[in-house]
């Protein structure tokens, strides 16, 4: 019943958002949560193809295997893909190394998300965030109202009772919809296992070229990663618990090469998955701040 309940709730959310949207879009970040969300959308609208496009905000710094997986899933689903890169950022040479993760995230992720949303006039935007990820996310609504400019104000959130979602908005306002709100990391993995959902191979342990940065292993995914003096890539058996921009995503040493092994490892994990994301560790309330500015 557990999965039926979770799945049924998510499908209800996806259908409800779609039924009330003028111009919906699904944010697709290629990671495991996006993969589950996409799968749920396909189930929600079966036998129809999900009637909205996928939006991938491309920082140009994603893992190569993520791009390959994205293209494969677009072909398989028959959905339309919109990719957007903040060309102003590219022209200014913004990268995760010289500009620091905060500025980089702001320009290449937050701004790069807001721009296509405005450009295409999307009013309802699906995102794969979960409440168990982080404390300020735990207070997020399933249908999250955003004022013009995509700003999130935690003090003026609409009350959300039962499964009655208020989808009324005015011009310039938007709603972020989070169908996976009530899923945990373990739920995601068990569901991927149960439904045989394809995921990026980077989640599986494999020998990869990495360098040690702080507490994390950073993968040398292409030749753009500047090596610090004395730093030489070494081959380690690693996997990723979360996927993002490769220079900012830490791998963990692991021998889990199958889904079963990943689930076993997740179940007995002693650190949270977001630890692999360097951008969260800046300050205690950094996620709340980023969300207020329009980040997912």
Partner 1 sequence: MKDLRPKDISELFSGQTEKTTLRFITCGSVDDGKSTLIGRLLHESKQIFDDQMTALESESRLYGTQGEKLDFALLVDGLQAEREQGITIDVAYRFFATDKRRFIVADTPGHEQYTRNMATGASTAELAVLLVDARKGVLTQTRRHARIVAMMGIRQVALAVNKMDMVNFDEAVFNRIVEDFRQFAVPFEFARVQSIPLSALDGDNVSSPGNRMAWYEGPTLLDYLETVETHVGKTSAPFRMPVQWVNRPNPDFRGFCGRIAQGAIWPGSAVKVLPSGVHSKVKEIVAWEGNRERAETGESVTLTLEDEVGVSRGDVIVSLDDPPQVADQFEATVLWMSEHPLVPGRLYLLKIHNREVTASVTEIKYKVDVNNGAHLAIKTLAANEIAVVNLSFNQPVVFEPYSANRTLGGFILIDKLSFETVGAGMIIFALRRASNIHWQALEINKETRSALKRQKPYCIWFTGLSGSGKSTIANLLEKRLHADGRHTYILDGDNVRHGLNRDLGFTEVDRVENIRRVAEVAKLMVDAGLITLVSFISPFTDERRMARGLFEPGEFIEVFVDSPLEECERRDTKGLYAKARKGELKNFTGIDSAYEAPEAPEAHLRTKHESPDVCVERILQLIKPSE
Residues that bind partner 1 (CB under 8 A): 1-9, 11-12, 15-16, 18-19, 42-49, 131-132, 134-139, 154-155, 157-164, 166, 168-170, 181-182, 184, 186, 190, 193-194, 258-261, 263-264, 267-272, 275, 284-285, 288
Smallest distance, Å, CB 254 to partner 1? 13
Smallest distance, Å, CB 51 to partner 1? 9
| Identity of the residue, 85 or 275, whose beta carbon is nearer to partner 1 in the bound complex | 275
| Identity of the residue, 87 or 258, whose beta carbon is nearer to partner 1 in the bound complex | 258
Q: Are 57 and 89 in contact (CB under 8 A)?
A: no
CA distances from 199 to 22, 111, 219, 234, 272 (A): 30, 27, 18, 25, 20
H or E segment at 35?
Answer: helix 32-45
Smallest distance, Å, CB 169 to partner 1? 6
C-alpha angle 142-178-200 in degrees, rounded to nearest 5: 160
Smallest distance, Å, CB 82 to partner 1? 22
| Identity of the residue, 58 or 261, whose beta carbon is nearer to partner 1 in the bound complex | 261
| Identity of the residue, 211 or 263, whose beta carbon is nearer to partner 1 in the bound complex | 263
Instruction: Tell me how far apart the alpha carbons of residues 15 and 121 are, in angstroms, rounded to a whole number.
Output: 20
Q: Which residues contact 148 (CB under 8 A, 6 or more apart)?
A: 172, 173
| Identity of the residue, 2 or 232, whose beta carbon is nearer to partner 1 in the bound complex | 2
What is the 8-class DSSP label of residue 244? S
Instruction: Tell me how far apart the alpha carbons of residues 94 and 96 are, in angstroms, rounded to a whole number.
Output: 7
C-alpha angle 280-286-292 in degrees, rounded to nearest 5: 125
Residue 54 DSSP SS3: strand
| Identity of the residue, 93 or 270, whose beta carbon is nearer to partner 1 in the bound complex | 270
**DSSP helix, strand, coil percent of the chain (3-state; round to 5):** 40, 15, 40
Residue 47, preceding peptide bond in cis (omega within 30° of 0): yes
Instruction: Tell me how far apart the alpha carbons of residues 93 and 267 are, in angstroms, rounded to a whole number.
Output: 41
Smallest distance, Å, CB 187 to partner 1? 8
Smallest distance, Å, CB 291 to partner 1? 11
| Identity of the residue, 56 or 241, whose beta carbon is nearer to partner 1 in the bound complex | 241
Smallest distance, Å, CB 57 to partner 1? 25
């Amino acid at each position: 019943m557990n999965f039926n309940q979770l799945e049924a709730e998510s499908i209800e959310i996806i259908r409800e958002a779609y039924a009330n949207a003028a111009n919906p879009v699904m944010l697709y970040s290629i990671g495991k949560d996006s993969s589950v969300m996409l799968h749920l959308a396909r189930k929600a609208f079966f036998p129809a193809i999900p009637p909205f496009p996928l939006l991938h905000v491309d920082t140009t710094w994603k893992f190569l295997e993520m791009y390959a997986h994205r293209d494969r899933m677009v072909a398989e689903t028959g959905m339309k893909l919109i990719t957007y890169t903040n060309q102003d950022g590219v022209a200014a040479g913004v990268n995760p190394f010289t500009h620091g993760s905060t500025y980089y995230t702001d320009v290449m992720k937050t701004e790069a998300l807001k721009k296509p949303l405005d450009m295409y006039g999307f009013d309802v935007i699906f995102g794969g965030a979960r409440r168990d990820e982080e404390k300020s996310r735990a207070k997020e609504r399933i249908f999250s109202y955003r004022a013009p400019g995509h700003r999130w104000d935690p003090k003026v959130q609409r009350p959300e009772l039962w499964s009655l979602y208020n989808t009324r908005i005015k011009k310039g306002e938007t709603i972020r919809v989070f169908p996976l709100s009530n899923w945990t990391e373990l739920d995601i993995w068990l569901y991927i296992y149960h439904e045989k959902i394809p995921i990026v191979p980077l989640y599986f342990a494999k020998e990869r070229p990495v360098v040690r940065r702080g507490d994390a292993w950073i993968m040398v995914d292409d030749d753009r990663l500047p090596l610090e003096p004395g730093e030489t890539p070494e081959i380690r058996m690693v996997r990723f618990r979360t996927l993002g921009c490769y220079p900012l995503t830490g791998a963990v040493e692991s021998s889990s090469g199958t889904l079963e092994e990943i689930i076993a490892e997740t179940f007995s994990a002693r650190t949270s998955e977001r630890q692999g994301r360097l951008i969260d560790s800046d300050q205690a309330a950094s996620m709340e701040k980023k969300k207020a500015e329009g980040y997912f």
